[in-house]
Structure 1
Amino acid sequence: MDASSKPHRIPPAMGIYAERHNIFQLMQNMTEALLIYQPQDPIEFMIEHLKKDNDEVPSVFVLGPPASGKTTIALWLCKHLSATYLCPEELLRNKLLHRSREALVHQKREGKVPSDLWASMLEERLGDVDCVKLGWVLDGFPETRKQALQLQSVGIAPRHVVILKAPDMVLVERNLGKLVDPLTHEVYHTTFDWPIDFTVQKRLVRPDGISPKATARRLLESHRNIPGILQTYPNNHKIINADQPCADVFAQTLNFVQSRPHSEAPYTPRVLLLGPPGSGKSLQAALLVQKYRLVNVCFGDLLREQVAGRTAMGDLIKPFFGSGYPVNDSIALRVLKDRLAQPDCLSRGWVLHGFPRDVDQAVLMKQMGFEPNRVFFLNLPTDVAMQRLCQRATDPASGERYHTVFKPPSDEEVHHRLRRNPRDTPSRVERKAEVYARQVVDLEEYYEHAIFLNADQDPYTIFENIESRLVKPLPVTPARMQFAASPEGHL
């Protein structure tokens, strides 16, 4: 579309559908695959690509120097993501691969396997159904930039590359205590990870190449090769400090692997802020408007503008203001629809607060074609809300707002003329908080992908959190993924 023709008259439902089903990302993935594989029949290739339905499955390299914990982290990732574990040793042992025997011959004769042979075996293995449908995590490969480029030449490109890093002294100490179970190939350590099973203890053996001299040589080789690997994957790698508890390393790795890469998809923010009175919805909306030029849609202000403008809709709203009852849903939705359908909301996006009050209104809003793509619940205890609202007042002479605790007036004369808004009386605030508490449980269930924030903290900290969730893609959350910070599944 021509950007100069904005605002585009696109039905809101189109953008919602495209975002929900990742249409732009789907087209981008297919285009990338076409450029990588350059098939003779692009249409048939794209059909087969769609049938695989594996754009969101993990494809991860876990790299690092010896004893950095690559195998442990890779195995834990596979367990939590239900992915397939791969490593060079597994490829050599896999007799189903056509060139595994050739690779073993090279290893015995020359001490190493050529890069093109590794790439060929890995390409064949990644074509198996478990790797295609579940995804894969590759442990300890590639080791050099040449190997990485060879993998790229056959179309093997990971979505995430994890680089584990730790001081050499720590790595040497870890490596010298390493033991391997020859039956299961599990790695153990004499100090940090000793097996409980006595039978396993008896059969542990010390692997080759872990003497101090051999370890130093491997570390030096790793230090030489890592910069080249980082150059090969400049935009999708993350360096993680491995000199910390293993659960912390895993938590950081899992968070990175579940993150989506930056997308160039057109994105119009539609933000909904929900929270009890005093939770700071108006302030957060103002901050978003100031920085991102969103349209600030305060539902209460919309109603008051209609009444003040003496419009036909305002005449219908005015009796509700006098009685203290909520405005009828049909009237409220007509006012909201008229505002959200304006060109500025369609082209710049909006931040809505003060609506919906309950699930019925949320459903009606969705049926109108206006659905938020980011929902934030600002949680705040009632006693804190009472302190924030019931002790604020306004100077009628200057319009300046004060608070008896957080911003008291320094002038005694100003203090005496302060006036409190009738809406901030303790009884009214408490009643509003009770109404919100009754409705919020159903709203939380309805907006199942909402983000919950603690509103009892510095407002700019809250804004940074909202901002980070607004500008970054939401993490991948397939049903088969378990979001946990430790291998036992405890948060």
Structure 2
Amino acid sequence: MDATVKPLRIPPEMAVYAEKHEIFDLIQTLMRNLIVDKPRDPIQYLIGLLKRENIEVPRVMLLGPPASGKRTLAKKLCECIGAIHVTASDILKDDTDLTRAAQKYREENQEVPQDLWIKLIQQRLWRSDCVRRGWVLEAIPKNRGEALCLQEAGISPEHVVILQAPDNVLIERSLGKRIDPVTGDVYHVTFIWPDSPEVTQRLEKPQGPMTKDHIAQKLRAYHKQACGLQTTYHSRLRVIDADQPHVDVFAQARDYVLTRSRSDAPHTPRIVLLGPPGCGKSLQARLLAHKYSVVDVCCGELLKAVAADDSSMGELIKPFLESGRQVPDLMVRQILTERLSRLDCTTRGWVLHGFPRNVDQAAELQEAGFGPSRVFFLEMSDDVGIARLALRSVDPATGERYHLLLNPAPNEEVQARLWYDPQDSEEELHKRMKDYWDQVAGLQTFYPQAVRVNADQDPHTVFECLESRLVGRLPKVLPDSP
């Protein structure tokens, strides 16, 4: 990089490295934590953050009415993401001045003052285990006022999950609830029953009155506060129907918790579209290029353009294209590297299709410093692909494209002069599709975070699927078991 040359051109490798290691996101996270916590010594505070194993730890609030399954879901989530399960009773277990003060109020059957309760939550969440591994707050906060006080204290969740179910279902669940006094696990006489006879024998009913009227009163009290909680956390909220198998509830909550909030960090799209012939890669690339101003790089068209000029590389690849042979990977890599290194690609980003076709080409692209930030597999059956391609044609007089079923020629005169590409014959298409399916398993292994999209639907629906995964960040990687 030469600072004397204007405009200043930053090598693409720098942006790729920064995005791969999330340098921009790291800086954003550091600044956000600095502003929220307001430490007396900012430099030492930032050094301490950087020494942690992971700065972006889970911060989850799990809310919902009584008997909606919060305890069971919270435990399974913590096992999955490695976070600390924090409940109201857990907060009061510590032997500190604050907890002793709170216990006095509870012994006198008085509600713990809100300011004291917020300090207790802070005290628990600032312990090393929660700081290092993150936390899942169960049934905290209970109302909008408590939520706002937590925000003022710098306790802000990344994800809020609220469970909901009809009151009659919740009442039935409450009446059948059983608790294991040893582990604290919650069971139900109908829905969830332990497999172990030993656990079954020690199950107990929850303490306190468990009549229908009492449960209905608790539900009414919750509903009065639910709207305020949803309003407070509307930007990071996911409401999940709890009246379904707990396995499905957990799957929805887990997928949401693993999603990452949208980042304002700089991002240059580097998109690769893969799929069998006829899946619509070219069309989707044009749509993405039009909306997001990324550069549409079609490998096949790029090779034809190079062969058409008078360069030495064009003279080398022209015989391959004219004879229908495959251009050697080394030449293709050199041409692609030169194109993706141009200023428009490095500043605006690119969407590449037609390459890579196999794992070796994908590895070469990675080694050249042009690893994609998003990879999409457009999937469809061979029959649909053949129907799309074998029946398409071009009017050589106007350049208009037609399809025998979807967009037929307007009259017999146009129909008579239509040109059909020999490569779109069924025999050739079967060969091309076989070549793709022979390589797709290896490519999917090489790109484990690739997104699979059903291409056998309306093109704009496919585009919406691509767009939804393009603008959002990739899901979090599950941590190793602590």
Which residue does 1:185 correspond to in 2? 184
What whole-Å deviation, never above 9, does each CA across 1:434-458 have from its counterpart, x for those lacking one? 3333333333232232222233333
Percent identity between the two aligned chains: 47
Which residue does 1:62 correspond to in 2? 62
In 1: Cα distance, 2:173 partner to 2:466 partner:
41
Within 5 Å, give how 1:72-87 maps onto structure 2: 72-87=72-87
What whole-Å deviation, never above 9, does each CA across 1:169-194 have from its counterpart, x for those lacking one? 33233223323333333222233234
> What are structure 2's unaligned runs of at least 5 residues?
1-5
In 2: Cα distance, 1:179 partner to 1:385 partner:
55
Which residue does 1:328 correspond to in 2? 328
What whole-Å deviation, never above 9, does each CA across 1:56-78 have from its counterpart, x for those lacking one? 32111101122222112212211
Which residue does 1:226 correspond to in 2? 226
Which residue does 1:15 correspond to in 2? 15
Which residue does 1:455 correspond to in 2? 455
In 2: Cα distance, 1:46 partner to 1:197 partner:
49
In 2: Cα distance, 1:209 partner to 1:112 partner:
19
What whole-Å deviation, never above 9, does each CA across 1:45-65 have from its counterpart, x for those lacking one? 111111123323211110112
Could you tell which deviates more after superposition, 370-379 or 425-434? Answer: 425-434
Q: Secondary structure at the match of 1:157?
A: coil
Residues 328 and 182 (structure 1), Cα distance of their counterparts in 2 relative to 1, 3 Å cut: closer
Q: Amino acid of the residue matched to residue 63 of structure 1?
A: L
Which residue does 1:438 correspond to in 2? 438
Deviation of 1:87 (Å)? 0.6
Deviation of 1:221 (Å)? 2.2
Which residue does 1:390 correspond to in 2? 390
Which residue does 1:295 correspond to in 2? 295
Q: Amino acid of the residue matched to residue 364 of structure 1?
A: E
Residues 233 and 206 (structure 1), Cα distance of their counterparts in 2 relative to 1, 3 Å cut: closer
Structure 1 contact 178–207 (Cα < 8 Å) conserved = no
Size of the alignment, in residue pairs? 476
What whole-Å deviation, never above 9, does each CA across 1:66-107 have from its counterpart, x for those lacking one? 222211221221122222211112223x24555333322211
Deviation of 1:375 (Å)? 1.0
Q: Secondary structure at the match of 2:156?
A: coil
Which residue does 1:114 correspond to in 2? 113
What whole-Å deviation, never above 9, does each CA across 1:180-229 have from its counterpart, x for those lacking one? 33333322223323444455444422431433333233223222222333
Q: Amino acid of the residue matched to residue 145 of structure 2?
A: K
Which residue does 2:412 correspond to in 1? 412
Deviation of 1:135 (Å)? 2.0
What whole-Å deviation, never above 9, does each CA across 1:362-399 have from its counterpart, x for those lacking one? 33333332221111122333343333222322233333
Q: Amino acid of the residue matched to residue 441 of structure 2?
A: V
Within 5 Å, give how 1:278-317 maps onto structure 2: 278-317=278-317
Which residue does 2:242 correspond to in 1? 242
Within 5 Å, give how 1:120-269 maps onto structure 2: 120-203=119-202, 204-269=204-269
Q: Amino acid of the residue matched to residue 179 of structure 1?
A: R
Q: Amino acid of the residue matched to residue 185 of structure 1?
A: G
In 1: Cα distance, 2:417 partner to 2:94 partner:
88
Structure 2 contact 72–185 (Cα < 8 Å) conserved = no
Structure 1 contact 179–189 (Cα < 8 Å) conserved = yes
Which residue does 1:489 correspond to in 2? none
Deviation of 1:161 (Å)? 1.3
In 2: Cα distance, 1:392 partner to 1:64 partner:
55
Structure 2 contact 80–478 (Cα < 8 Å) conserved = no
Could you tell which deviates more after superposition, 40-49 or 420-429? Answer: 420-429
Using structure 1 for the length normalisation, give the TM-score. 0.89
Q: Answer yes or no: is 1:270 the counterpart of 2:277.
A: no
Q: Secondary structure at the match of 1:377?
A: strand
Using structure 2 for the length normalisation, give the TM-score. 0.90
Q: Amino acid of the residue matched to residue 171 of structure 1?
A: L
What whole-Å deviation, never above 9, does each CA across 1:395-430 have from its counterpart, x for those lacking one? 333333233343333533433332211221233323
Q: Amino acid of the residue matched to residue 136 of structure 2?
A: V
Could you tell which deviates more after superposition, 368-377 or 121-130? Answer: 121-130
Which residue does 1:358 correspond to in 2? 358
In 1: Cα distance, 2:181 partner to 2:425 partner:
74
Residues 371 and 206 (structure 1), Cα distance of their counterparts in 2 relative to 1, 3 Å cut: closer
In 2: Cα distance, 1:198 partner to 1:450 partner:
45
Could you tell which deviates more after superposition, 44-53 or 443-452? Answer: 443-452
Residues 215 and 386 (structure 1), Cα distance of their counterparts in 2 relative to 1, 3 Å cut: same
Structure 2 contact 59–134 (Cα < 8 Å) conserved = yes
Could you tell which deviates more after superposition, 103-112 or 135-144? Answer: 103-112
Deviation of 1:140 (Å)? 0.8
In 2: Cα distance, 1:158 partner to 1:336 partner:
44
In 2: Cα distance, 1:362 partner to 1:268 partner:
19
Structure 1 contact 177–189 (Cα < 8 Å) conserved = yes
Residues 250 and 159 (structure 1), Cα distance of their counterparts in 2 relative to 1, 3 Å cut: same
In 1: Cα distance, 2:143 partner to 2:379 partner:
49
Structure 1 contact 320–326 (Cα < 8 Å) conserved = yes
Which residue does 1:49 correspond to in 2? 49
Superposed CA RMSD: 2.5
Q: Amino acid of the residue matched to residue 72 of structure 2?
A: T
Deviation of 1:15 (Å)? 1.6
Q: Amino acid of the residue matched to residue 464 of structure 1?
A: E
